[in-house]
Amino acid sequence: MAITITVNGQQRSLDVEANMPLLWAIRETLGLTGTKFGCGIAACGACTVHLNGRAVRSCTLPVSAADGGSVTTIEGLATDGTLHKVQQAWVEHQVPQCGYCQSGMIMAVSALLDQHPNPSDEEIDAAVTNICRCGTFARVRRAIESVARS
């Protein structure tokens, strides 16, 4: 089945099974490996991307759900060689340890801040449910707060 999606600003036509998870279409078909596989059940958030501006867990979302839509991956977040403000905050606050979950975490946070530029603690807790095995949650919170204050 031909699926047409815009990925990081570029329209792509994919000849894949309609029920293939969006994650695998991104990673295996398009070769964009910044989006990670973690749990496969949409619990950990390592696979988070934006679909039409909203954070979604791509490991369980069929690619057909993105047909005609716009997907942004971690590779498409920076523009013209300039890091996105959330990516820059991650660097400044030394958020990652192992880094595996961070692309999904950054995508969840950037979608939250697009919708709520100055989120409350409750809004952050509700929107950023990604799991970090290294436990960098305090640094994540500081990075979010630094972007919200700017």
Confidence (pLDDT) at 140: 96
Tell me the three state secondary structure of residue 61: coil
Helix ranges (H only) for 36-136 are: 85-92, 102-115, 121-127
Position 43: which residue type? A
CA dihedral sign of residues 109, 103, 8, 26: negative
Confidence (pLDDT) at 67: 98
Residue 64: CB partners within 8 Å, gap ≥ 6? 1, 3, 18, 19
The domain 2-75 is classified under which CATH number: 3.40.640.10, 3.30.565.10, 3.10.20.30, 3.40.50.450?
Answer: 3.10.20.30
Domain with CATH 1.10.150.120 in the chain: 85-149
Structure tokens at 65: 């759900």
Confidence (pLDDT) at 149: 87
Confidence (pLDDT) at 150: 83
CA distances (Å), 37 to each of 21, 58, 88, 146, in order? Answer: 11, 9, 23, 28
Confidence (pLDDT) at 1: 74
For the question of whether the overall pTM of this predicted structure is more than 0.75, the answer is: yes
Domain with CATH 3.10.20.30 in the chain: 2-75
pLDDT tens digit at each of 150 positions of the chain: 799 999 999 999 999 999 999 999 999 999 999 999 999 999 999 999 999 999 999 999 999 999 999 999 999 999 999 999 999 999 999 999 999 999 999 999 999 999 999 999 999 999 999 999 999 999 999 999 999 988
Q: How far apart are CA 69 and CA 52, in angstroms?
A: 6
Q: Which CATH superfamily is domain 85-149 in?
A: [2Fe-2S]-binding domain (1.10.150.120)
Residue 101: CB partners within 8 Å, gap ≥ 6? 36, 38, 44, 45, 46, 130, 131, 132, 133, 134
